Amino acid sequence: MKTLLIVDDEPRTRLGIQKTLDAWSAGRHRIETAASGVEALEWLKSNTAHILITDVRMPEVDGLQMLETLSERGRLPVVIVISGYAEFEYAKKSLQLGAFEYILKPLDKSLLIDAVQRALELDSGRERIDAMEKLVDPKLLEVGRDEARYGTAIKDAIDYIYAHLHEAISMKQVADQLHLNASYFSVLFKEQTGVTFSDYVTLRRLQKAKELLVTTSMPIWEIAEKVGYQTAKYFIKVFKENEGSSPSQYRHRILDTGQSIQ
C-alpha cells in the first residue's frame, strides 16, 4: 500500500483532494493530509510518503521551502505541486527542486488523478531500481567500475557470457568466438577485469540467479538451469559458498525485508 500525503492550508481544497483520491483509490492507497508545511515536515520525520501533493503558497513554510528541507534530509517522494498562481517562476523553481508535476487551481479532478497515477508509476520504477541495486554483488560492481576502459575483445567476451549464461561456457569457447588464443585471452581477461574468467562467469551466474530469486516464483531447480548449472545441488553449493546462505534462505531474507520487486 502506497501513502499519499496532501499538504494544503486551505481546508476546502485539502478535503476536496482527499475525497477525490479516496474515491479513486478505493482503499488501495493510504491518503494522509497536513494543514501546513510545518505539520507535513513533522509528520514526515516518522512516516514515509511515496507521493507528496503540496500547495506552493502556505504560511510559515511554503511548498518550495518544504521541498528544500526534504531534499536536505534525503531523497524526495514523488512530488506534485499545486497552486492558484500561474507565474512561471513558481513552476520552474518547483521543478528545479525535484517536483514531478505542477498543476494549477482550480484543480481538474481527471488531471489530478492522471498526475497521481503517473507519479505512482514513477515511484514503483524507483523501487525496482533500488531493489536491483541492492541485489548487485559488490565484487561485480568493482569489476564493472572500469568497464568503459575495457578493450573491444573483453567487451565482446562479456556480452557473449551474458547472452549464454544458461549454457555451459568455457574459456576456450569464448576465446574461439573472439578468434584469440585461449592462453592469451585468459591473461587479457584477468588483466582488464581484475578477476579470472571462471570467477567472472560465476559472479554473473549468481547475479542473474539473485534477480530471478526475488523477481519470480521459479523453483530453485529451474533457476539453476536458467543460469547454467546442470544440477540444483551444485548450484546450491556454489550459491552458499559465495552468499553465505542457500538460494531459498536468500529469497526469504530479501522478501521479508521489503526489497521484493512487484
pTM: 0.58
pLDDT < 70 positions in the chain: 85-88, 129, 131-134, 256-262
Residue 218 lies in a domain: yes
Residue 172 lies in a domain: yes
- Structural domain total, the chain: 2
Instruction: Please state, in angstroms and rounded to a whole number, the distance separating the CA atoms of residues 131 and 211.
Output: 9
> Domain check: are 151 and 105 in the same one?
no
> Domain check: are 43 and 103 in the same one?
yes
Domain span at 200 = 136-256
Residue 41 lies in a domain: yes
CATH at 210? 1.10.10.60
- With cell 584469440, the residue in question is 180
Instruction: Please state, in angstroms and rounded to a whole number, the distance separating the CA atoms of residues 147 and 193.
Output: 8
Q: What's the DSSP call for residue 183? A: H
> Domain check: are 163 and 233 in the same one?
yes
What is the bridge-based pairing of β-strands 101-104 and 3-7? Answer: unpaired
Q: Which of these, 78, 106, 117, 90, lies nearest to 13 by C-alpha position?
A: 106
Residue 36 lies in a domain: yes
> Domain check: are 181 and 218 in the same one?
yes
> Domain check: are 11 and 46 in the same one?
yes
> Domain check: are 101 and 145 in the same one?
no
Angle between helices 197-215 and 247-256 (to 10 degrees): 50
Instruction: Please state, in angstroms and rounded to a whole number, the distance separating the CA atoms of residues 101 and 172.
Output: 54
Residue 261 lies in a domain: no
Instruction: Please state, in angstroms and rounded to a whole number, the distance separating the CA atoms of residues 130 and 33.
Output: 27
> Domain check: are 159 and 111 in the same one?
no
Residue 262 lies in a domain: no
What pLDDT does 129 receive?
Answer: 67
Chosen domain end from 129, 161, 193: 129
What pLDDT does 89 receive?
Answer: 73
What pLDDT does 132 receive?
Answer: 64
> Domain check: are 159 and 90 in the same one?
no
Name the H helices within the chain.
11-25, 37-46, 63-73, 88-96, 109-135, 138-144, 152-163, 171-177, 182-193, 197-215, 220-226, 232-243, 247-256
> Domain check: are 98 and 170 in the same one?
no
- Size of the chain in residues: 262
Chosen domain end from 95, 113, 129: 129
> Domain check: are 50 and 91 in the same one?
yes
Chosen domain end from 107, 129, 151: 129
What pLDDT does 100 receive?
Answer: 86
